[in-house]
C-alpha cells in the first residue's frame, strides 16, 4: 500500500470512531466509552497526518501541540461545572479560529505555486475549492468572535453585561452580510485572492461580534448551540478546501448536532431562530405590570414553615433554574432531596429544556452533586404529575414557570412551561421579586398556593435542611 492509501484508510477508521463515539452518548452508561472512542478517532487521524509527505518538519508541530495541549488540559481540569457554558463557548471559538488559519495557510501555500507556475496558468485548477476556503474564513471568523463575546457575556464581565445598542444596528449587520456575500462571489473569479480572503475574515469578525452583541441571558443556550454548529461547519468547509474526507465527516456531524440542539432550544421557548437572533423581547398586551400582579398578594415564608410543609408531604418536586447555578447550590439541593427521601417523601427533579445557560446545564450540575439521573424528569414527563404533588420547590427559575406563557398575547405566550402552579403548594426560592429574562412579572408568585422564600439559593437550602433536622 502506498502512503496516501494508508492515510485515507486511517481517516476512514477515524470517521467511524467519531460516529460510534457519538452513538455512545445516547446513554449515560455508554457515554464515557463513547467519548473515549471519539478521542481515539482523533488520535488515529492525527498520527496518520503526521506521516504525510507534505509534513517536512516537526518543530512547529510539536511546539503547537505542547502549548495547546497544556492550555487545554489545565483548563479542562480546573474549570468549575457551573462555568461549563462559557467554556464550551470559548472552545467553539477556538475551533472556528483554527479553521480560519488553516484556510488562510492553504491559500498562502497555493499562491506560491501560482506564482511559480506563472499567472493564470495554475489558477483555474484551484477555483472550486476557493469558495470553500472563503466559506471557512467567513464561518470560522464569525464563530471565533461571536463565541468570544458569548464567553464574556456568560462570565458576566461588567463591560459586556448590557448589549451595546445603537440605531441602525440591524442595517449595519445586513450591510456586513451583503459585503461577505459579495466577497464570496468574487472568490469564484479572482485568481489570487489572498488579500480578499483576509478582508473577508476582518468583515466576518465584526459581523460575528455584532450578531451576538444584542443577545443575552436566557437566549444564550440558543446562541451557544448555534455557534457549536458553526464550528463544525467551519471545519467542514476546511475539509472541502483540503479535499479531506475526515474533516468533512466530522465537521458535518458537529454541524448537525448543533443544529438539532438549536432547534430544540428554540422550540422550548416557542420562538423562531430569527426571533431569538434579531427579535426584541417586549412585554405583550396581556402582561400586566408588577404592581397589578403582586399588589399585596405575595406571601413570604421561612425555613421553618417550609419544613413543616415537607413533614406532611408525600411527593415533592424540585425545579432548578439558572439561579441554582449562580448560587452554586447544586450540592445543597441534592442534600435536601436525599434528606426528604430518607423521610419517605417521593422526590423528583423537573428540568425545563432551557433552564440554565446551555442545553443540559441543570443535568450536569445535579450530576456533579451526584444526584441520580433517573429522578431528573423532562418537562413533558413530569407535567401531568404536578396535580398530585404536595410541595414544589422552585429554586432560581422564573420564566419557565410563568403562567403568563399560557396567554398567547404575552411576551412569552406559547412557551411550554412547567405546570408547577397545579401543585398543592409551591415554594419559590428567590432573592427578590425581580423579573426573569423576559422582563415580565410572574403571577405565580402572587398565587394563593405560592409562598416566597426570599433568600440566596444556597443559604435557603442549608437553612431548610437545618430546620428539617430540628423539627
Active site (catalytic) residues: 399
d(CA 364, CA 370): 10
> Residue 260 and residue 294: Cα distance in Å, rounded?
38
| C-alpha triplet 395, 401, 407: angle, nearest 5° | 165
What is the nearest approach in angstroms of other proteins to the Cβ of residue 110?
6
Is position 401 an interface residue for other proteins (rule: CB under 8 A)?
no
Q: Does residue 195 interact with other proteins by CB under 8 A? A: no
Residue 214 to residue 220: CA distance in whole angstroms:
11
CB of 367 to other proteins, least distance (A): 4
- Spatial CA neighbour of 417 closest among 442, 388, 447, 450: 442
Give the SS3 label for residue 343.
coil
Which class for 357: exposed (0-12), middle (13-18), buried (19 or more C-beta within 10 A)?
Answer: buried
CB of 77 to other proteins, least distance (A): 7
β-pair partners for 453 = 429
- Contact between 51 and other proteins by CB under 8 A: the answer reads no
Cα–Cα distance between 233 and 236 in angstroms, integer? 5
Residue 50 near other proteins by CB under 8 A: yes
Cβ nearer to other proteins, comparing 8 with 172: 8
Residues near 293 by Cβ (< 8 Å), separated by ≥ 6?
441, 442, 443, 445, 446
Selected from 137, 193, 208, 232, the binder of other proteins by CB under 8 A is 232
Within 250-269, the residues that bind other proteins by CB under 8 A are 250-261, 264
Q: Residue 269 or 452: which CB sits closer to other proteins?
A: 269
Q: Identify residues 5-44 at the interface with other proteins (CB under 8 A).
A: 5, 7-8, 15, 18-19, 21-23, 25-29, 31-32, 34-36, 38-39, 41-42
Helices 457-470 and 330-342: crossing angle, nearest 10°?
A: 20
Phi/psi for 222 (5° steps) reads -65, -45
* Cβ 66 to other proteins shortest distance, Å: 9
Can you tell me whether residue 162 is helix, strand or coil? coil
Cα–Cα dist 422/383, whole Å: 9
DSSP 8-state assignment for residue 420:
G
Q: Which of residues 123-142 bind other proteins (CB under 8 A)?
A: 125-126, 128-129
Alpha-carbon gap, residue 49 to 11, rounded angstroms: 9
Stretch that binds other proteins, among 167-175, 249-257, 283-291, 442-450 (CB under 8 A): 249-257
Considering the complex, state which of residue 81 and residue 308 has its C-beta at the smaller distance from other proteins.
81
Residues 148-177 that bind other proteins (CB under 8 A): none
Per CB under 8 A, contacts with other proteins among 55-84 are 55-61, 63-65, 67-69, 71-73, 75-77, 79, 81, 84
Q: How many residues bind other proteins (CB under 8 A)?
A: 129
Q: Strand runs (DSSP E) across 140-284, as ranges?
A: none
Tell me the closest approach of the beta carbon of residue 446 to other proteins, in angstroms: 31
Cβ closer to other proteins: 252 or 302? 252
- To the nearest 10 degrees (0 to 180), the angle between helices 194-212 and 123-154 is 30
- Tell which positions 334-393 bind other proteins, by CB under 8 A: 351, 353, 358-361, 363-364, 367-368, 370, 372-373, 376, 378
Q: On the CB side of 88, how many CA atoms lie within 13 Å of its CA?
A: 22
Among 213, 244, 402, 442, binds other proteins (CB under 8 A): 244
Does 45 bind other proteins (CB under 8 A)? Our answer is yes
Nearer to other proteins, 29 or 159 (CB): 29
Pick 234 or 412: Cβ nearer other proteins: 234
Task: With CA atoms as reference, report the closest residue to 412 among 250, 247, 286, 297.
Answer: 286
Using CB under 8 A, which of 135, 150, 218, 234 touches other proteins?
Answer: 234
Amino acid at each position: 500500500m502506498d502512503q496516501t492509501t494508508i492515510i485515507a484508510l486511517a481517516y476512514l477508521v477515524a470517521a467511524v470512531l467519531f460516529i460510534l463515539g457519538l452513538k455512545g452518548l445516547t446513554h449515560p452508561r455508554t457515554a464515557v466509552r463513547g467519548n473515549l472512542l471519539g478521542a481515539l478517532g482523533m488520535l488515529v487521524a492525527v498520527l496518520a497526518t503526521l506521516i504525510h509527505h507534505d509534513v517536512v518538519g516537526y518543530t512547529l508541530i510539536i511546539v503547537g501541540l505542547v502549548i495547546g495541549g497544556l492550555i487545554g488540559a489545565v483548563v479542562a481540569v480546573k474549570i468549575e461545572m457551573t462555568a461549563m457554558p462559557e467554556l464550551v463557548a470559548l472552545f467553539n471559538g477556538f475551533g472556528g479560529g483554527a479553521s480560519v488559519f488553516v484556510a488562510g495557510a492553504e491559500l498562502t501555500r497555493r499562491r506560491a505555486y501560482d506564482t511559480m507556475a506563472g499567472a493564470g496558468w495554475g489558477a483555474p485548477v484551484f477555483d472550486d475549492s476557493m469558495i470553500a476556503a472563503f466559506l471557512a474564513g467567513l464561518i470560522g471568523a464569525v464563530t471565533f468572535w461571536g463565541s468570544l463575546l458569548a464567553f464574556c457575556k456568560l462570565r458576566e464581565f461588567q463591560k459586556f453585561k448590557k448589549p451595546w445598542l445603537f440605531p441602525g444596528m440591524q442595517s449595519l449587520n445586513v450591510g456586513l452580510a451583503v459585503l461577505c456575500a459579495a466577497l464570496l462571489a468574487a472568490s469564484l473569479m479572482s485568481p489570487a485572492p489572498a488579500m480578499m480572503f483576509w478582508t473577508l475574515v476582518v468583515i466576518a469578525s465584526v459581523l460575528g461580534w455584532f450578531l451576538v452583541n444584542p443577545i443575552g441571558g436566557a437566549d444564550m443556550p440558543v446562541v451557544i448551540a448555534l455557534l457549536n454548529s458553526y464550528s463544525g461547519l467551519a471545519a467542514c468547509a476546511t475539509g472541502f478546501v483540503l479535499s479531506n474526507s475526515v474533516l468533512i465527516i466530522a465537521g458535518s456531524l458537529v454541524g448537525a448536532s448543533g443544529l438539532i440542539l438549536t432547534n430544540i432550544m428554540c422550540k422550548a421557548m416557542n420562538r423562531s431562530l430569527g426571533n431569538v437572533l434579531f427579535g426584541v423581547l417586549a412585554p405583550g398586551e396581556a402582561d400586566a405590570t408588577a404592581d397589578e400582579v403582586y399588589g399585596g398578594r405575595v406571601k413570604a415564608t421561612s425555613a421553618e414553615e417550609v419544613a413543616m410543609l415537607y413533614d406532611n408531604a408525600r411527593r415533592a418536586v424540585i425545579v432548578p433554574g439558572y439561579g441554582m447555578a449562580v448560587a452554586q447550590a447544586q450540592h445543597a439541593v441534592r442534600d435536601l432531596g436525599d434528606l426528604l427521601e430518607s423521610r419517605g417523601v417521593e422526590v423528583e427533579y423537573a428540568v425545563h429544556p432551557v433552564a440554565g445557560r446551555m442545553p443540559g446545564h441543570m443535568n450536569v450540575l445535579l450530576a456533579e452533586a451526584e444526584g441520580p439521573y433517573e429522578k431528573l424528569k423532562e418537562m413533558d414527563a413530569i407535567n401531568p404529575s404536578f396535580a398530585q404533588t404536595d410541595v414544589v420547590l422552585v429554586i432560581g427559575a422564573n420564566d419557565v414557570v410563568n403562567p403568563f406563557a399560557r396567554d398567547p398575547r404575552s411576551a412569552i405566550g406559547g412557551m411550554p412551561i412547567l405546570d408547577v402552579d397545579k401543585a398543592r403548594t409551591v415554594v419559590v426560592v428567590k432573592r427578590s421579586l425581580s423579573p426573569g429574562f423576559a422582563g415580565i412579572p410572574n403571577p405565580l408568585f402572587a398565587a394563593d398556593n405560592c409562598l416566597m422564600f426570599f433568600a440566596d439559593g444556597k443559604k435557603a437550602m442549608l437553612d431548610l435542611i437545618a430546620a428539617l433536622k430540628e423539627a
